[in-house]
Amino acid sequence: MATLLEVNNLRKLFTLHILNHKEIDALRDVNFSIEEGEIIGLTGKSGSGKSTLMKSIYRTYLVSNGEINYLSNTFGLIDLVKANEHQILLLRQKEITYCSQFLKVIPRVTAIDVVADTIIKKESERPAAREVALDLLKRLGLPKELWDAFPSTFSGGEQQRINIARAIIAKPRFLLVDEPTASLDNKTKDVVIDLILELKNAGTSVLCITHDEYTLNKLADRKIHLQHGQIVEQIYA
């Protein structure tokens, strides 16, 4: 198996100009790699830099130093730190999906369309996409009466399921997922774990932040533990 992602000497320093140029050292000397089809569990206390690392890979954060070499289908080997914005947008569209802990969507779009929207380019594709979305929402156990309701009024766990469905429906090559099983009951948790494992079996690599031991043990091929912005431990399952 080839290496999908290689992170070298990553550093992320936040400079807050409006607070007298205060600096926050969020990540230092981060080095690791992910193989194709591998699931890495990212652990560490709140504030240890897990989400910062994930967002740096997705380019939501601009890193201060280092390289993130990604072996893409679209461009070949590409450094996500230096890639231009259009390249990043194309990779996000075709290969890399980020699933955050919070659902942020356009208001007044129904749950099923929020999920289907991710995979349609033209309105004519909507009926077929809605079928796929519906199957996912059914598997995730979202109550039937919510399928055509607006997600902003949903409970935390229901929103979480919409978020997972949106991320998984596109079958990305590389999935970044932040706390996929928090605020879910045990049965739904198992469904989410199965869905991620199905992606893995189809070749997807996953970087997964979780505090949940159960999810971690079921999913992760390798665990990376962060402390104060540095990797302190890597354990193979």
Partner 1 sequence: MLNNNNGKDWILKVENLTKIYGNYTDNTVTNTGPDLGTNICPETGSIVACAEISFELYPGEVLGIVGESGSGKSTIVQQLFFDLETTKGSALLRPYNGGKVNILEESNQKKRYMRNHLMGMVYQNPRDGLNFAFSSGGNIAEKLLMAGLFHVGKIRERASDLLSKTEVPVERMDDLPAYFSGGMQQRVQISKAIANNPPLLFLDEITSGLDVSVQARVLDLIRSLQRELGVAMIVVSHDLSVIRMLTDRTLVLKNGRIVERGLTDQILQDPQHEYTQLLVSSLL
Of the candidates 2, 195, 207, 216, the one whose C-alpha atom is nearest the C-alpha of residue 97 is 207
- Choosing from 2, 73, 107, 144, the residue that interacts with partner 1 (CB under 8 A) is 107
101 binds partner 1 (CB under 8 A): no
- Choosing from 13, 71, 78, 197, the residue that interacts with partner 1 (CB under 8 A) is 78
Listed ranges 8-16, 41-49, 183-191, 204-212: which one lies at the site for partner 1 (CB under 8 A): 8-16
Q: In what side-by-side order are the strands of the sheet with 3-16? A: 22-35, 3-16, 65-72, 76-79
- Choosing from 46, 73, 76, 145, the residue that interacts with partner 1 (CB under 8 A) is 76
| Smallest separation (angstroms) from partner 1 to the CB of 6 | 14
75 binds partner 1 (CB under 8 A): yes
- Choosing from 9, 16, 127, 156, the residue that interacts with partner 1 (CB under 8 A) is 16
Q: Which residue has the tokens 């390798």?
A: 222
Which pairs count as long-range contacts for 214-222, CB under 8 Å and 24+ apart, including other chains?
214/181, 214/189, 215/41, 215/180, 215/181, 215/189, 216/41, 216/43, 218/193, 219/39, 219/41, 219/193, 220/39, 220/40, 220/41, 221/38, 221/39, 221/40, 222/38, 222/39, 222/40, 222/41
73 binds partner 1 (CB under 8 A): no
Q: In what side-by-side order are the strands of the sheet with 230-236? A: 96-99, 174-178, 205-209, 39-43, 222-227, 230-236
Listed ranges 88-96, 137-145, 175-183, 221-229: which one lies at the site for partner 1 (CB under 8 A): 88-96
Whole-Å CA distances, 116 to 23, 34, 235: 41, 29, 37
Q: Which residue has the tokens 């989400």?
A: 51
197 binds partner 1 (CB under 8 A): no
Listed ranges 29-37, 58-66, 133-141, 200-208: which one lies at the site for partner 1 (CB under 8 A): 58-66
2 binds partner 1 (CB under 8 A): no
Length of the chain (residues): 237
1 binds partner 1 (CB under 8 A): no
Q: Which is nearer to partner 1, 120 or 182 (CB)?
A: 120
Pattern 122-161, partner 1, x by CB under 8 A: xx--------------------------------------
- For binding to partner 1 (CB under 8 A), which residues are involved? 14-18, 55, 59-62, 74-79, 82-90, 104, 106-109, 120-123
